[in-house]
């Protein structure tokens, strides 16, 4: 009888020892009968009896194991999953043994042998990577109580998770050159309801009565008849014109995040031709871009602004600008799903973005397309900020040919950065997923530049 013979449950198979016992018992019984040696024949009887007993009590329930995700905490760097072992019986009683092996990228597999009863085992891993990824895989097999019936190893089960990027708090960020909203937390350059004084002007249709400045009105209205007050003659003003205090209106900003998901490179230049060679402790350029874009979106949305998203790696409609907590969740999930998809598709035209919006481009600037788009948007009147998300590079293990190629790419990238600066495109660097101190300071400097220019224009 071969190992592939099946009876009992759908997946139970006869194990190798079962076939060995059957063959040995049959051989001993035949030798004893042909050689007229009852002592030899008796030796095969227990083996055959054991096989017959196991056949009559062959298992039917099938214990199994499966892996399921646990709730994830964004930004913790810790991913968890549960290995759920079931007995396959309604009573939940143990049925033999279950052995399983769990693995994760960049980690050694863990093997475990447990009793086949309902139980849950937690597995964890640490990573700095984000996005849609296969983070755990599971292999398992089962055996009966007598080890003569087994369930062969099942196909490897993989668990895919969408690892959301973390968000760093930002104290300040740049604003568009022109604010177009009717309300918000930012001071605009037009008159309206706000806080800072714009000017004092004559009352006009549409002005609110509560904005009348009576002191200025009394001071500017003179030339009325003389009246005597306590024996002293005074000129009673004739109020012919009312004056109101006008303030600068407050408004919100429209911000469009543009992420370049066409390529993904790591800190080791030698691994640029294969992103799968990155370890779980190495954040790629796309991981940094996700964290930077999520942090930027959180800052503007908390300030009451409207934020949208455009992905250069996808020919699809952008996420339109909107505000609120739900918009932040939508943007973070869309950023987590952004990833390279084969050869980049050539765009026939420049994406159209809302007028007057602040455009923040997250790119490695390793090719001309992001720089070309940023320059076009700047010439169209937008304020454009390019966030350089190239990680801190290591050029070790590069041979002479690869080092020469890297130097050429680095020189071309430096030329693009100088050209962006010449075209009045602002640039900051964001090279880590865990530390936002350097980009936080650069963003504060850009925010102060607009405030200074706005003060001068007033």
Q: What is this structure's pTM?
A: 0.74
The pLDDT of residue 423:
93
pLDDT higher than threshold 80 for residue 123: yes
The encoded tokens of residue 332 equal 């973070």
pLDDT higher than threshold 80 for residue 338: yes
pLDDT in tens, 249-279: 566 788 999 999 988 898 998 888 776 778 8
The pLDDT of residue 114:
86
pLDDT higher than threshold 70 for residue 193: no
The pLDDT of residue 409:
93
pLDDT mean over 123-152: 84
The pLDDT of residue 117:
81
pLDDT in tens, 196-221: 565 667 777 767 677 777 777 777 77
More confident residue, 309 or 218: 309
pLDDT mean over 392-399: 87
What does the mean pLDDT of the chain come to?
80
Confidence of residue 453 (pLDDT cuts 50, 70, 90): very low
pLDDT mean over 28-44: 80
pLDDT higher than threshold 80 for residue 331: yes
pLDDT higher than threshold 90 for residue 310: yes
Q: Are 358 and 253 in contact (CB under 8 A)?
A: yes
Please name which of 352, 287, 347, 290 lies closest in space to residue 321, comparing C-alpha atoms. 352
Q: Three-class SS of residue 143?
A: strand
pLDDT higher than threshold 70 for residue 158: yes
Please name which of 219, 222, 227 lies closest in space to residue 238, comparing C-alpha atoms. 222
Spatial separation of the C-alpha atoms in residues 154 and 159, rounded to whole Å: 15
The pLDDT of residue 136:
92
Spatial separation of the C-alpha atoms in residues 17 and 296, rounded to whole Å: 64
pLDDT higher than threshold 90 for residue 431: no
pLDDT in tens, 354-380: 888 899 999 999 989 999 999 999 999
pLDDT higher than threshold 50 for residue 456: no
More confident residue, 200 or 185: 200
More confident residue, 239 or 41: 41
The encoded tokens of residue 153 equal 């190893």
pLDDT > 90: percent of the chain: 24
Spatial separation of the C-alpha atoms in residues 323 and 331, rounded to whole Å: 11
Spatial separation of the C-alpha atoms in residues 64 and 142, rounded to whole Å: 7
The pLDDT of residue 42:
79
Q: Of the ranges 46-50, 178-182, 412-416, which one carries the lowest mean pLDDT score? A: 178-182
pLDDT higher than threshold 90 for residue 280: no
The encoded tokens of residue 108 equal 């050694």
pLDDT higher than threshold 60 for residue 148: yes
CA atoms within 13 A on the CB side of 303: 25
The pLDDT of residue 413:
94
Residue listed under structure tokens 């009576």: 214
pLDDT mean over 175-195: 59
Please name which of 319, 361, 312, 320 lies closest in space to residue 340, comparing C-alpha atoms. 312
The pLDDT of residue 234:
61
More confident residue, 183 or 159: 159
Strand partners, 66: 84
Residue 111 CB-density burial (10 A; 0-12 exposed, 13-18 middle, 19+ buried):
exposed
The encoded tokens of residue 270 equal 């030698």
More confident residue, 103 or 249: 103
pLDDT mean over 81-92: 78
């Amino acid at each position: 009888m071969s190992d592939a013979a099946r009876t009992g449950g759908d997946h139970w198979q006869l194990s190798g020892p079962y076939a060995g016992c059957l063959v040995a018992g049959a051989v001993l019984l035949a030798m004893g009968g042909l050689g007229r040696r009852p002592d030899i024949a008796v030796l095969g009887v227990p083996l055959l009896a054991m096989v017959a007993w196991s056949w009559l009590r062959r298992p039917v329930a099938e214990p199994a194991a499966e892996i399921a995700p646990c709730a994830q905490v964004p930004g913790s760097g810790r991913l968890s999953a549960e290995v759920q072992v079931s007995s396959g019986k309604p009573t939940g009683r143990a049925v033999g043994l279950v052995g399983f092996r769990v693995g994760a990228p960049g980690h050694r597999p863990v093997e475990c042998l447990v009793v086949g009863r309902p139980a849950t085992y937690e597995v964890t891993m640490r990573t700095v990577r984000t996005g849609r990824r296969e983070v755990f895989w599971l292999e398992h097999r089962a055996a009966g109580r007598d080890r003569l019936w087994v369930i062969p190893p099942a196909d490897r089960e993989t668990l895919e998770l969408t690892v959301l990027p973390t968000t760093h708090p930002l104290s300040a960020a740049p604003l568009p050159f022109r604010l177009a909203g009717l309300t918000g937390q930012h001071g605009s350059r037009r008159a309206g309801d706000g806080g800072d004084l714009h000017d004092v002007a004559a009352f006009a249709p549409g002005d609110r009565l509560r904005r009348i400045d009576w002191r200025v009105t009394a001071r500017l209205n003179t030339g009325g008849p003389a009246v005597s007050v306590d024996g002293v003659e005074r000129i009673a003003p004739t109020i012919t014109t009312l004056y109101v205090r006008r303030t600068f209106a407050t408004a919100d900003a429209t911000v469009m995040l543009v992420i370049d998901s066409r390529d993904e490179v790591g800190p080791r230049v030698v691994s640029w031709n294969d992103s799968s060679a990155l370890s779980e402790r190495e954040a790629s350029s796309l991981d940094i871009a996700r964290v930077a874009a999520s942090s930027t979106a959180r800052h503007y949305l908390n300030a009451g602004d409207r934020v949208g998203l455009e992905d250069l790696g996808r020919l699809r409609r952008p996420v339109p600008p909107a505000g609120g907590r739900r918009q932040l969740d939508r943007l973070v999930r869309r950023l987590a799903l952004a990833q390279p998809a084969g050869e980049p598709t050539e765009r026939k035209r420049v994406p159209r973005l809302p007028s007057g919006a602040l455009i923040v481009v997250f790119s490695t600037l390793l090719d001309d397309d992001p720089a070309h788009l940023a320059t076009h948007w700047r010439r169209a009147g937008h304020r454009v900020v390019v966030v350089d998300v190239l990680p801190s590079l290591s050029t070790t293990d590069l041979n002479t040919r690869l080092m020469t190629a890297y130097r050429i790419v680095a020189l071309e990238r430096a030329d693009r950065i100088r050209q962006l600066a010449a075209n009045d495109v602002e640039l900051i660097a964001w090279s880590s997923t865990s530390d936002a101190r350097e980009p936080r300071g650069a963003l504060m400097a850009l925010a102060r530049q607009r405030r200074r220019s706005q003060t001068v224009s007033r």
